């Protein structure tokens, strides 16, 4: 019984699926048009992820505004996909709002910030639903969303 319990613990930690965002990029900033967000996920674990789902939304803030916790409450919905171990999944989806001329200019001038906040969930080999959240800051020079953002801007210590 002890050996069986150790094997289950091994599955839960070592052999389960682990999903990472390896790239997040946005198309050119266009006034009055939605842009496409390209996100590349990779299962870096040793087993498949079942029912993999992802949600994401853009948050535009003037530089002096904090990133409030309520902005970070998106929940994955819809039918999930299988993501085999070692494989990537590319998701290309439209952004959730249109950019104004003033917003585009503010991003280029770095007087405003654009975040992508979202969540993902999936079922691992043990039948457990794994969830994680992300917040990434847009870099207008590269068109990418970086993994790190200034914690002081968020007003949240989590």
Express each pLDDT in 37-88 by its tens digit: 999 999 999 999 999 999 988 999 987 788 888 877 888 988 999 999 999 9
Q: How far is the C-alpha of 112 from the C-alpha of 105, rounded, in Å?
A: 9
| Of the candidates 96, 81, 79, 77, the residue with the CA atom closest to the CA atom of residue 36 | 96
- pLDDT band for 150, please (50, 70, 90 cuts): very low
pTM for this one? Answer: 0.82
Q: What is the spatial order of strands in the sheet that 112-123 belongs to?
A: 81-83, 49-62, 112-123, 129-139, 144-146, 19-26, 36-43, 88-94
Cβ atoms of 14 and 56 within 8 Å: the answer is: no
């Amino acid at each position: 019984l002890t050996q069986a319990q150790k094997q289950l613990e091994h599955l839960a930690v070592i052999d389960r699926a682990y999903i990472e965002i390896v790239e997040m990029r946005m198309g050119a900033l266009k006034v009055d048009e939605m842009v496409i967000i390209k996100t590349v996920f990779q299962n870096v674990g040793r087993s498949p992820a079942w029912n993999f789902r992802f949600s994401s939304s853009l948050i535009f803030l003037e530089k002096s505004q904090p990133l409030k916790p309520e902005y970070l409450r998106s929940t994955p919905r819809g039918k999930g996909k299988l993501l085999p171990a070692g494989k990537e999944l590319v998701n290309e989806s439209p952004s959730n709002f249109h950019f104004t001329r003033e917003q585009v200019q503010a991003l280029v001038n770095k007087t405003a910030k654009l975040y992508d906040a979202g969540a993902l969930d999936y079922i691992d080999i043990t039948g457990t639903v794994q969830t994680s959240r992300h917040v990434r800051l847009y870099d207008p020079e590269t068109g990418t969303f970086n993994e790190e953002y200034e914690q002081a801007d968020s007003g949240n210590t989590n």
